[in-house]
Copies of this chain bind each other. A is one copy, B any other.
């Protein structure tokens, strides 16, 4: 095993990596920027180093040079990048390797997997997997226009080195295609992609999105876990995870699991990876291989009892797989919901700020991963995920029931979240019978309908009552102040009526 591991990320994944590294008996070292100094990962690390803000246009967590420097001076033998940030960064990997430091990311034939979506697609095709119709890679406008002719709108423009929804656009027309191209070229630099290469792919309407996490050691021992489905997304980021996928025919699971085994052997993958497919009309299409552990994989750990994060680190340190195959067949059903500090009513605009109140659900079969608490500040600069809520049931029905109740108990005030929206999702017919499409809630009307489905006619009466109460309460407060001031000339409670003395801005018009 490694002796000293640097965790180069923040938030939940940082804390989770610190935990995993410590469980493996290694020294957990991490980084942070000023405003993250009180986070769980920093608190629990054996050593934590504050990064300088050397360039106002770049967050420290993306400051490749500074992080490599630290890794070298602190004599670490491996770096865990988490996901996002530098997880897929070729330059980062090379800089570290040149200093004899291992980046914890999957290998192909012992080399760092540069996560080139296009190259992987080609290998999959060679391995006999069905892939989506699309173009070659290119990076110039001329080829773009040519390539576009061979496909129909809507089509998908993908950066060869995009990740987590970055550098991926569905376009409806030529003009959209061109602006998407410009945008991706621009963001290539911003998000440190390894090249500006892009390619085009057909867009599959209402397809289901599933992935199979795998672990593979250097001697080729492989575990292909049951599939995860992410039935709901926004901006290509996951909102719900489910494992196993509802209504997936066990024979198709078995078939894909063995095809994946073949692909992994062919690419000679080492470590953790996740193989993604689109399923339409019962037909699977290979999509891509993700080389990093995502929040969704917590669901796989809960379903199977295998600590994927820990196994990933172990395997890449050269140790061998000792997980028993019984976990490749699902015996329960797990559903997870991501909770984001954002406002679904305002098309998921981030809602950073201070958490005023929070009530967390708990109980048999209900599990939380979160680092927020009453008083916590949510940063405006990063992914607004604040919590993962997972449930496990003996059946999908039981799991849905548990999720429904858990979301009713879950309450966050001070920042807007998608909790009310998700309550509506799990109440909906569409989700229950599994016909909901990943894009369903990208539509504002659908979102409104889902939230409205939570409102009983009594609720409207109660809302009217509450509005009146709040106004009445102002009156009471005012009267109290008059009385108090009359009695003792005290003005200590004057704050109580501030909203009347100097009107507050409405929080509504953003």
Contact = CB atoms under 8 A, between A and B. Distances in A.
A368 interface: yes
Contact of A364 (B307, B366, B406): B307
Contacts of A301: 364-365
Interface string A403-414: 001101100000
A150 interface: no
B359 A369 contact: no
Given A359-B40, A365-B305, A394-B305, A19 B370 contact: no
Contacts of A405: 19, 22-23
A369 to B, nearest CB: 5
A362 interface: yes
Interface string A362-381: 11111111110111000000
Interface string A173-212: 0000000000000000000000000000000000000000
Contacts of A15: 362-363
Contacts of A392: 305
A320 B357 CA distance: 41
Contacts of A22: 405, 408
Contacts of A332: 305
A217 to B, nearest CB: 16
A451 interface: no
A370 B306 CA distance: 24
A54 B154 CA distance: 72
B362 A409 contact: no
Contacts of A406: 19
A126 interface: no
Nearest to A44: B409
Interface string A318-339: 0000011010000110000000
A15 B364 CA distance: 11
Given A306-B394, A323-B394, A364-B16, A359 B23 contact: no
Contacts of A44: 408-409
A216 interface: no
A305 to B, nearest CB: 5
Contacts of A40: 359, 362, 409
A309 interface: yes
A370 B362 contact: yes
A395 to B, nearest CB: 10
A393 B409 CA distance: 28
A111 interface: no
Contacts of A367: 367
B16 A363 contact: yes
A43 interface: yes
A314 to B, nearest CB: 12
A45 B375 CA distance: 25
A182 B308 CA distance: 57
A419 to B, nearest CB: 14
Interface string A38-57: 00100110000000000000
A40 B410 CA distance: 11
Contacts of A20: 363-364
Interface in A395-426: 398, 401-402, 405-406, 408-409
A88 interface: no
B323 A331 contact: no
A298 interface: yes
A373 B374 contact: yes
A285 interface: no
A310 interface: yes
Given A306-B394, A307-B398, A367-B367, 16 more contacts: A16-B362, A16-B363, A19-B405, A20-B364, A40-B359, A40-B362, A40-B409, A301-B365, A305-B365, A305-B392, A305-B393, A307-B364, A307-B365, A326-B331, A362-B369, A373-B373
- 9 closest Cβ pairs, A-B complex: A19-B363, A307-B364, A301-B364, A16-B363, A305-B332, A22-B405, A44-B409, A23-B401, A362-B369
